């Protein structure tokens, strides 16, 4: 087709862009902390560039303050954190995310476990999923199922996986159209996307430790 003078066709433009290639940033070893950093840029790990500490200067603070923040000696004000994040070219959320990751321990005392009852079945929560967790979240429970009873959750399936271990009694897992008998000490794992029911087929109460991922969060205490 005819092309107006001074205008390139789409095919020619696309051919030109097809030859463009992304260039990876050049990484060099920081002489101060020996971590990899972009060439001719401030080291995001220690704040040094060409032998001089510039993070404190650009952030409008002292080298002493930055040093104390790095060693967790002080709790900086939010404006100081904003200035540091701006100098290091990182999102402020990254700083709080690292804080959370360094304190991953969650303790639930035996006498403080949240629990719910569905009919005559009790779910005791062992691990509460974090509110910031998404697809990597996990929750776990101690199940107490009386003789002759069975679970209702999972009757229609849900996304994720489940893992369990029978700690007391005898169970039967019905997974879609297949049945599995589980004795004390047996463990099982499966994709939770299809119908699955756990039934107590023994003469005493059934106890099991159960894990679900991602968390379904049906205990909201």
Low-confidence ranges of the chain (pLDDT < 50): 51-52
State residue 199's pLDDT score. Answer: 96
* Long-range Cβ contacts of 151-154 (<8 Å, 24+ apart): 151/118, 151/121, 151/197, 151/198, 151/199, 152/118, 152/119, 152/121, 152/197, 153/118, 153/216, 153/218, 154/192, 154/195, 154/196, 154/197, 154/198
Fold observed for domain 27-101: 434 Repressor (Amino-terminal Domain) (1.10.260)
**With 0-12 CB in 10 A as exposed, 13-18 as middle and 19+ as buried, what is 196?**
buried
Angle at 141 between CA 137 and CA 144, to 5 degrees: 160
State residue 50's pLDDT score. Answer: 56
CATH architecture of the domain 110-213 equals: Sandwich (2.60)
pLDDT in tens, 58-79: 666 666 666 666 666 777 777 7
pLDDT in tens, 206-220: 999 999 988 876 665
Q: Are strands 171-175 and 196-200 parallel, antiparallel or unpaired?
A: antiparallel
State residue 19's pLDDT score. Answer: 60
Q: Please state the pTM of the whole predicted model.
A: 0.52
State residue 52's pLDDT score. Answer: 45
Residues of the chain with CATH 2.60.120.10: 110-213
Residues of the chain with CATH 1.10.260: 27-101
């Amino acid at each position: 087709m005819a092309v107006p003078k001074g205008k390139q066709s789409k095919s020619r433009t696309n051919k030109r862009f097809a030859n463009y290639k992304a260039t990876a940033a050049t990484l060099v070893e920081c002489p101060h902390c020996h971590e990899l950093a972009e060439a001719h840029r401030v080291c995001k790990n220690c704040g040094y560039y060409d032998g001089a500490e510039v993070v404190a200067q650009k952030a409008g603070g002292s080298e002493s303050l930055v040093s104390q923040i790095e060693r967790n000696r002080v709790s900086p004000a939010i404006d100081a954190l904003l200035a540091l994040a701006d100098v290091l070219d990182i999102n402020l959320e990254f700083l709080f995310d690292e804080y959370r990751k360094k304190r991953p321990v969650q303790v639930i005392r035996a006498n403080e476990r949240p629990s719910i009852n569905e009919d005559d079945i009790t779910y005791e929560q062992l691990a509460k999923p974090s509110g910031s967790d998404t697809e990597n979240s996990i929750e776990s429970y101690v199940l107490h199922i009386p003789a002759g009873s069975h679970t209702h959750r999972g009757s229609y399936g849900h996304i994720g996986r489940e893992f369990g271990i029978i700690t007391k009694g005898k169970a039967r897992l019905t997974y879609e159209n297949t049945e599995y008998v589980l004795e004390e000490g047996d463990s099982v794992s499966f994709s939770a996307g299809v119908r699955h029911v756990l039934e107590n087929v023994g003469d005493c109460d059934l106890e099991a430790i159960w894990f679900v991922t991602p968390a379904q969060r049906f205990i909201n205490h």
